[in-house]
Amino acid sequence: MIFLRRIVISALASLLALATLPSHAETPDAALVKLLDEAKAAAAVPGACAQPGLDRLVRIFCEGKIRVGVREYYPLFGTREGCVRSGYDVDVARRLAKHLGVEPVFTRVNAATRIPLLADDKIDLTIATMGHNAQRDGQVRFIRPHYFQSETIIVGPKGLTIRDWPDVASRTICVTVGNGSNAQIVSHNARLMLFDEAGVLPDKLRDETCTLAAQDDSFFDYYFTDPAFAGSYDRKFGFAQLPWGMAVALAGSDKLARALDLTSQIFHRDGVFLDIAKENRIGLGFLERQRAVWNRPECNTATGAENPACVLPPLSAVLEPTPIAAQVAAFEGWIEKHTGIALQLPMFKTMPAWLLFKAGIVNSLILVAGALVATLLFSLVLGAMQSSRSFLLRWPARALTVVLQSSPVVLTLVISAAVALALFPYSSAVAIGAAIVALGLMNGANAGQAIAEAMHTLRTERGGPAVPTADLYGRAVSRSATQIVSFLINAAKGTPIASFIGAPELLSALTDITSFASGRASTYSLLLVFYVCVVIVVVWLCGKLRIWLERRQVVSA
């Protein structure tokens, strides 16, 4: 009896296993043939092609052609020289059309027109280097699986060892404004140098304006076909992967989208995309991985394109808004309506920007306060050393002062940061600390020299070298009040330059914000107002200090 039960259970299990085996599921090839046959049959019905509301797949068979939007100035993906079009996107379009048995008719599109032309029914399909993000899902129907995937890559000189994020902390990376991956670069403590056009980046690498540049691998692929460029630069690492999708219109394209989904699956599985990529000398990594995915039994089915284990999700490109984003947008609109000024305040509209902005203000104030205290301390210490009767104290202080006076401010900051980074791992606090020390030393050395000179005049007035006492030193400090105050103000004015070594003060924060948001003019105007106000407050406070020091001098005299 037990034996019989085992046999029945085994038989049932085998039946269940057979029922769930993918080999028994409909293949994408069979599903595609069936779909195309139905569409061709619908197109062949007399008068059907003249009827409104046809699915675009049927219409394509009615007309014997598919209208494809492609780019004309995107090297390796979509270019045109005279009547000759070439590139990966163009070749994919040709292969798709061939697979459907129709002729491709190309239309030029760019980043701004590739979606509107679909919606206006000027094209049936767009294959135009378009990243698939969640925002665009509401505008077009993306074909899945994706036909390519780009990623942002860091490119730099071959001799430079950069392997991962820790290696780029505190370095400057050249990027284009508005690139979605900029926020990620910023979060790893790298500094950004912004450019409007990606086309200038290779030139900036060549003329050594930029040591590192970040941009889509699809962009750099073209430059790496140049032996001279490939000989000097290499890809350091990649991040921010973005799947690229072919797309059709949201309305009236259900069957076309389904046919293209199935074709895309087949092209991945059979290595068609991979072959086209090889012919066009673009990156193969993603396509090789996708070929393996679409050969898996659970993916190689008619419903594989709906299986989350097989297809890639769209990139979520929406930044979290602040609670006051709507009010800020309304305020911007009100200003524009009443003054004509297109004010934009991106720092108040998204959470990442708001957090950067808040931290930037706090860090700027810390930096200003720190620079003032450091300047005062270094001036007192170096002033005392330079006033000392011992040459062992006097000469090193004088030598340091001469060196600091001879070093441009940016160089002093960089030296300070290099020493700090040799002692501590990079962090915002280390960068701010290094900047405070550098600004304090530079300005303190000059103020210290003024104190020493005042000490010299006091000794001369007393008829010769006197023993430096605390009282005499105090008078020297009072006498050099104007100079000390002048260098304190100079230190406060110099604090924004700390952004050069990666200190996350307001200039640095706003540069980061404008790298992924709009409103550069408003943002930098606000920055200028902020720093002018801070310096005016420092000037006022320093004025009070000078009056106190000068009164002290009068009293002690």
Partner 1 sequence: MSRISPDFVPQLLAGMVVNFEIAAIALLVGLAVGGLLTWMKLAGGASGAFATAVIGLMRAAPTFVVMFFLLNIIPSDATLFGVNVAPSGIMTVALSLVPYAAAYVADNGGEALRQLRDGSPLGALLFLPNVTRAFFVLVMSSSAGAAIGVPEGIAVILREAELMPTLGDKMVLFAIGILCFGITLQAGFALMRLLQRYLGRLALRAR
- In the complex with partner 1, the residue whose CB is nearer, 57 or 367, is 367
The angle formed by the CA atoms of residues 213, 218 and 221, to the nearest 5 degrees, is 75
CA–CA gap between residue 382 and residue 404 (Å, rounded): 12
The angle formed by the CA atoms of residues 437, 440 and 443, to the nearest 5 degrees, is 145
- In the complex with partner 1, the residue whose CB is nearer, 129 or 514, is 514
Q: Does 204 bind partner 1 (CB under 8 A)?
A: yes
Contact between 134 and 315 (Cβ < 8 Å): yes
- In the complex with partner 1, the residue whose CB is nearer, 86 or 232, is 232
Smallest gap from Cβ 474 to partner 1, in A, equals 29
CA–CA gap between residue 386 and residue 398 (Å, rounded): 6
Q: Does 211 bind partner 1 (CB under 8 A)?
A: yes
Contact between 155 and 194 (Cβ < 8 Å): no
- In the complex with partner 1, the residue whose CB is nearer, 66 or 212, is 212
AA identity, residue 338: H
Backbone angles phi, psi at 415, to 5 degrees: -65, -45
| Residue at token pair 């902390």 | 169
Q: Provide long-range contacts, Cβ within 8 A and 24+ apart, for 93-97.
A: 93/66, 93/68, 93/125, 93/127, 95/267, 95/272, 95/276, 96/66, 96/125, 96/246, 96/260, 96/263, 97/65, 97/66, 97/68
- In the complex with partner 1, the residue whose CB is nearer, 229 or 530, is 530
Smallest gap from Cβ 343 to partner 1, in A, equals 13
* Binding range to partner 1, per CB under 8 A, among 85-93, 96-104, 331-339, 489-497: 489-497
Neighbour order of strands in the sheet with 141-142: 103-108, 65-70, 125-126, 247-248, 141-142
CA–CA gap between residue 190 and residue 155 (Å, rounded): 14
Full DSSP string of 300-326: SSTTGGG-TTTSPPPB--PPPBPTTHH
Instruction: Name, in order, each residue with C-beta under 8 angstroms of 27's C-beta and a sequence gap of 6 or more.
Output: 300, 301, 302
Residues 14-43 binding partner 1 (CB under 8 A) are: none
Among 209, 241, 428, 518, which residue interacts with partner 1 (rule: CB under 8 A)? 209
Tell me, residue by residue from 396 to 425, as one string, x for binding to partner 1 by CB under 8 A and - for no binding: ------xx-xxxxxxx--xx--xx--x---
Tell me, residue by residue from 361 to 400, as one string, x for binding to partner 1 by CB under 8 A and - for no binding: ----------------------------------------
CA–CA gap between residue 458 and residue 486 (Å, rounded): 21
Smallest gap from Cβ 346 to partner 1, in A, equals 13
Smallest gap from Cβ 524 to partner 1, in A, equals 4
DSSP letter assigned to residue 120: T
Smallest gap from Cβ 324 to partner 1, in A, equals 24
Closest CA to 145 of 317, 287, 298: 287
Q: How many residues bind partner 1 (CB under 8 A)?
A: 49
- In the complex with partner 1, the residue whose CB is nearer, 105 or 414, is 414
Residues 79-138 binding partner 1 (CB under 8 A) are: none
DSSP letter assigned to residue 270: T
- In the complex with partner 1, the residue whose CB is nearer, 207 or 461, is 207
Among 264, 300, 499, 515, which residue interacts with partner 1 (rule: CB under 8 A)? 499
Contact between 185 and 192 (Cβ < 8 Å): yes
Closest CA to 147 of 238, 242, 71, 222: 242
118, with CB counted inside 10 A (0-12, 13-18, 19+), is: buried
Residues 512-531 binding partner 1 (CB under 8 A) are: 514, 520-521, 523-525, 527-528, 531
- In the complex with partner 1, the residue whose CB is nearer, 93 or 168, is 168
Q: Does 427 bind partner 1 (CB under 8 A)?
A: no
- In the complex with partner 1, the residue whose CB is nearer, 477 or 503, is 503
Residues 158-187 binding partner 1 (CB under 8 A) are: 159-160, 171, 174
* Binding range to partner 1, per CB under 8 A, among 73-81, 265-273, 534-542, 546-554: 534-542
Smallest gap from Cβ 159 to partner 1, in A, equals 6
Among 11, 111, 324, 532, which residue interacts with partner 1 (rule: CB under 8 A)? 532
Among 539, 541, 545, 552, which residue interacts with partner 1 (rule: CB under 8 A)? 539
Query: For strand 247-248 and strand 141-142, is the pairing parallel, antiparallel, or unpaired?
Result: antiparallel
Q: Which residues pair with 148 in a beta bridge?
A: 244
Tell me, residue by residue from 325 to 344, as one string, x for binding to partner 1 by CB under 8 A and - for no binding: --------------------
Q: Does 536 bind partner 1 (CB under 8 A)?
A: yes
Smallest gap from Cβ 216 to partner 1, in A, equals 21
Write out the residues near partner 1 by the rule CB under 8 A: 157, 159-160, 171, 174, 193, 196, 204, 207-211, 402-403, 405-411, 414-415, 418-419, 422, 493-497, 499-500, 507, 511, 514, 520-521, 523-525, 527-528, 531-532, 535-536, 539
